């Protein structure tokens, strides 16, 4: 496979979540330098207690992009992306499918203003303790039907991230939600760091279960650790982020199966080692190099 075929089948992207220490112009320059083409906006409100803290993935960010700012300035921001040869791929707001309609409308309108075609929306949080899963699933599907109804006229596809601590934490649980929807209207983000944390599932089985709905990948490294023992002496497993090449699930095997889908699968890089900060650019460089070597 030549370089052009590789770029077409596996376009490289990055989520701004991992670039907390870089302003927008610095992010663009870094992506252009590395040949990263698919940019994912992070429209979120930085908590007041984080604004004087060091830059971090989920806290303070140098590029302070609120959902309202994306709506107002999205077209101008994306013009700068496109001038540099990048494209706006999607957004990752803190949004759940049961948010009020005004919040959902704002996230979709902001993405549309910026020319994005994907917005990540999480399933509603499930109750603690034993609960009626059938009732929860039915309510979740209804919530996503409402989200899709808002997104569809704007040319936006909501996507659910297969993510830890989510009702879509595994391929099987994710399929229970998305199988009620046309894959063109609701998709899945297959998250490889999460797959390493949540427990092994064969990539043949995992990809087959949700093949039609896989929209793109989150690519990075994570692994389980021994963690600490509880008051009874029982081990509680922990987790930590690591380099892509150290992800124990076997990233090449997953890409080999995904290649059989025979359609472009954007690889959106998420490298959260160290929690963000001054090494953001170096972590992205390493991830790009590791992926290019593999592809």
Given a cut of 60, whether residue 49 has pLDDT beyond it is: yes
Entry pTM: 0.94
pLDDT of amino acid 164: 85
158-205 pLDDT, tens digit per residue, is 999 999 889 999 999 999 999 999 999 999 999 999 988 887 789 999
Given a cut of 90, whether residue 27 has pLDDT beyond it is: yes
Average pLDDT over residues 31-50: 97
Given a cut of 90, whether residue 1 has pLDDT beyond it is: no
Average pLDDT over residues 28-36: 97
pLDDT of amino acid 4: 54
Question: Among the CATH numbers 3.40.30.10, 3.30.1330.60, 3.20.20.150, 3.30.300.30, which is that of 3-294?
Answer: 3.20.20.150
pLDDT of amino acid 147: 98
Given a cut of 60, whether residue 268 has pLDDT beyond it is: yes
102-147 pLDDT, tens digit per residue, is 999 999 999 999 999 999 999 999 999 999 999 999 999 999 999 9
pLDDT of amino acid 200: 75
pLDDT of amino acid 5: 55
Confidence of residue 8 (pLDDT cuts 50, 70, 90): confident
Given a cut of 70, whether residue 2 has pLDDT beyond it is: no
DSSP codes of every residue in the chain: --HHHHHHHS-EEEEGGG-TTS-HHHHHHHHHHHT--EEEE---PPPGGGTTSPB-TTSB-SS---HHHHHHHHHHHHHHHHHTT-EEEEE--S-BTTS-HHHHHHHHHHHHHTT--EEE-BPPPPPSSS--HHHHHHHHHHHHHHHHHHHGGGT-EEEEE--TTSTT-SHHHHHHHHTTS-TTTSEEEEEHHHHHHH----HHHHHHHHGGGEEEEEE-EEEEEEEEE-TTS-EEEEEEEE-GGG-TT-HHHHHHHHHTT-S---EEE---GGGSSTTHHHHHHHHHHHHHHH-
157-170 pLDDT, tens digit per residue, is 999 999 988 999 99
pLDDT of amino acid 157: 98
pLDDT of amino acid 257: 96
208-251 pLDDT, tens digit per residue, is 999 999 999 999 999 988 888 999 999 888 889 999 999 999 99
80-111 pLDDT, tens digit per residue, is 999 999 999 999 999 999 999 999 999 999 99
Average pLDDT, the chain: 94
For the chain, the structural domain boundaries read 3-294
Average pLDDT over residues 250-263: 94
């Amino acid at each position: 496979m030549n370089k052009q075929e590789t770029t077409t089948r596996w376009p490289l992207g990055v989520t701004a979540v991992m670039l907390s220490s870089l302003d927008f112009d610095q992010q663009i320059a870094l992506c252009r330098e590395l040949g990263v083409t698919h940019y994912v906006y992070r429209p979120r409100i930085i908590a007041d207690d984080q604004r004087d803290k060091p830059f971090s993935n989920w806290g303070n960010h140098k590029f302070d992009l609120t959902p309202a700012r994306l709506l107002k300035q999205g077209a101008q921001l994306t013009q700068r992306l496109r001038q540099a040869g990048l494209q706006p791929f999607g957004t990752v707001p803190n949004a759940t499918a049961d948010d009020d309609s005004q919040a959902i409308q704002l996230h979709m309108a902001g993405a549309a203003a910026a020319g994005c075609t994907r917005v990540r929306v999480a399933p509603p949080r499930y109750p603690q303790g034993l609960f009626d899963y059938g009732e929860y699933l039915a309510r979740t599907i209804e919530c996503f039907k409402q989200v899709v109804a808002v997104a569809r006229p704007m040319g936006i596809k909501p996507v659910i991230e297969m993510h830890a601590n989510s009702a879509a934490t595994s391929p099987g649980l994710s399929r229970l939600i998305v199988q009620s929807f046309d894959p063109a209207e609701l998709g899945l983000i297959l998250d490889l760091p999460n797959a390493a944390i949540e427990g092994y599932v064969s990539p043949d089985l995992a990809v087959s279960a949700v093949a039609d709905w896989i929209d793109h990948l989150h690519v990075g490294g994570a692994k389980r650790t021994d963690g600490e023992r509880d008051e009874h002496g029982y081990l509680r497993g922990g987790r930590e982020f690591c380099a892509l090449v150290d992800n124990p699930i076997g990233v090449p095997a997953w890409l080999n199966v995904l290649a059989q889908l025979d359609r472009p699968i954007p690889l959106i890089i998420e490298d959260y080692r160290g929690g963000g900060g001054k090494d953001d650019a170096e972590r992205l460089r390493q991830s790009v190099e590791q992926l290019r070597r593999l592809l």
